[in-house]
Amino acid sequence: MKALILTCALLTLSLQAGAADKGLTEEQMGLSKTSVNVDPDPATFEYRQADPSTSGVLPRAFSGAPPQVPHGIEDFIPITRDSNTCVSCHQQPDQIGKKKVKGEPTPLPATHYTDVKNNALHMGRYNCTQCHTPQANVNPLVGNTFKRK
């Protein structure tokens, strides 16, 4: 019995010693085909610099998707509950349901208000960029096969 245990222990140690010599190369680690020690730099980009009154409306990704921001927002951030420049143009409850006039800001929808008649904005909706994102002219990082019907 002792001989069997000793043989198993020696066999285990010899297998581990042989495996430790081979190891993995950097190219075999992870999914990337580059070295794990390389820190890639992403491509630089700029957001659209269009003036809000001339930027137009961007297409929505799908039905019910929040509108994209077609203009730069660098001058509007940080967006906080007490300081939200977006609402100074977009909070127009009297325009809800009416046809949008070209060059005019898109009004906030009724879902963003607690009381549309009294112009009471729902304070949980102040963080505009949580749903509405500014757009940049960049190539997608991952291919997309989505097709509109």
Confidence of residue 17 (pLDDT cuts 50, 70, 90): low
Q: What is the pLDDT of residues 22-52, one digit of tens each?
A: 777 766 777 766 676 777 777 787 777 777 7
Radius of gyration of the chain (CA): 29
Distance from CA of residue 98 to its chain's centroid?
31
Phi first, then psi, for residue 21 (nearest 5°) are: -70, -35
Q: Are 132 and 67 in contact (CB under 8 A)?
A: yes
Question: What confidence score (pLDDT) does residue 33 get?
Answer: 67
Single out the residue of 125, 131, 130, 128 nearest to residue 76, CA to CA: 128
* Mean pLDDT rounded to a whole number for the chain: 79
Whether residue 59 is preceded by a cis peptide bond, meaning omega within 30 degrees of 0, is no
Single out the residue of 103, 92, 101, 106 nearest to residue 53, CA to CA: 103
